[in-house]
Structure 1
Amino acid sequence: MNINWYPGHMKKTKETIKNSLPLVDIVYEVLDARIPMSSKNPDIDNIIGNKPRLIILNKADLSNEEYNKKWEEFFYSKKIPTVFVNSLNATGLNQIIKKTNILIKDKMNRLQKKGVKNRPVRAMILGIPNVGKSTLINSLSGKKGAKTGNKPGVTKGNQWIKIKGNLELLDTPGILWPKLEDKDSALNLAFTGAIKDELLDIENLAFQLLERLIKIYPELVKTRYNIELENYSTYEVMEQIARNRGCILKGGEIDFTRASNTIVDDFRKGKIGKITLELP
């Protein structure tokens, strides 16, 4: 899947992030819990250097709980603090505050010894588009401090937001990387909506998503769409889904575009089930 998805403003975004790093005590790197590795921008490690970091695996309500544990063990083995959250219902947010205070305790103690007291903890939040950064900020702040949207790239510029627990967050636009060389990662990003749907062939995308789900979560597919999978090709399975969902055009022809949108939308909203697409 060849996708030209690197807008011109991304170079400026990277420069802005580098210039803002001295202003913060810790970096929050937000990943999609369904695709932790695919949603991790490899540039971020180089950008933030040795700055304390907390990885926040968002959308944990949509990911497989057993796989969540495996990813937690993986990051623990790398000595990278992590927390799983569902920013929509605020699950796990207290863990963010708790782990932040632990990670920057030494620095805050040094500031207090210098006579600097009650200074807010300052954090920068980073992540690729559509991992739920803005929703997470809104949940942490208890108000609509950041614009949100279901399309990647809603946040356009840096903005500070006051958070409970004496915390201030510097929001940044979603940061992409120039070239997607790994096909599976590109597909994972497309499946979850990190790449704008306008850049994609929705029927091809849904076909490849369905093919993947049949392979790793066959029972969830069968249950969601009340269909049979054995001895059926992916194309025939898609036909079954289309007929069961009434995706039929005049003359009885199957509306594959509508069926494709249904499958992709069901996956993104967790209607098929709790799904993680990759393991450590």
Structure 2
Amino acid sequence: MNATADRALASAATQAEPILRVQDVGLVYGSSTVALDGANLDVPKGQLTALLGPSGCGKTTLLKIIAGLIEPTAGAVYVNGKPVEGPGPDRALVFQDFALLPWATVLDNVAFGLRARGVPRKEREETARHYINEVGLSGFEDKHPHELSGGMRQRAGLARALAVESDILMMDEPFSAVDEQMRRKLQEDLLDLLKIEKKTVIFVTHSIEEAVYLADQVAILTRRPGRVTKVIRPDLDRSGDVDVIRRLPQYVELVDEIWASLKHYVE
């Protein structure tokens, strides 16, 4: 293992106190399909954790367990020390396919979660407008999803998740449906947004480069049955130009190191 990866792994021991803990989580479908087996992960508060692994390793399944949408057959997930027993206001999910209501405007889509919680109309619209502005969609409040580009629809989905003001934001391959140029722009926008919002983010991706660029820590899952085999902390200085960052020796070495960990899982 090279020196950069050694430092990244060693720094994991000094990470922030976890807001979320995945403890010995397993999931069996039917009578014999083992999706997850003994998955363990600590998610530090206020940081972005990327879940990375081969197709079918259980990344999205683990995210749904964390969200409370699936009950594990073994182990448990804890948020602030309390077991997850279903969906809750402390967690919000951004879907890969945007999941916007096609008949609703951007404003109504972003305010949807607040409406479901019984927030008065004036308050929820003020909150929705605030987050619409934060994601760069001001002026599109009255548009419908079919009138937006893919990148704009994903921004609306992100604004909706932010509007409910949950502590933990879960993102399931949120940028996979847009082209590479928009994907990079959304990555930069997300990092800028998190400087303001200070959210804890769990981010599922298939892209090694995306994981290294965005994440404070990258959790690598094995092929099914999935378990977390390694946690790497990139510790990149992201204050400079993004194109310079992607050419840093540290960035390139970490991408290569993670690929070396994953390539034997690729069939």
Q: Given the two structures, how large is their TM-score scaled by the length of structure 2? A: 0.25
Greater fraction strand: 2
Larger Rg belongs to: 1
TM-score by length of 1: 0.24
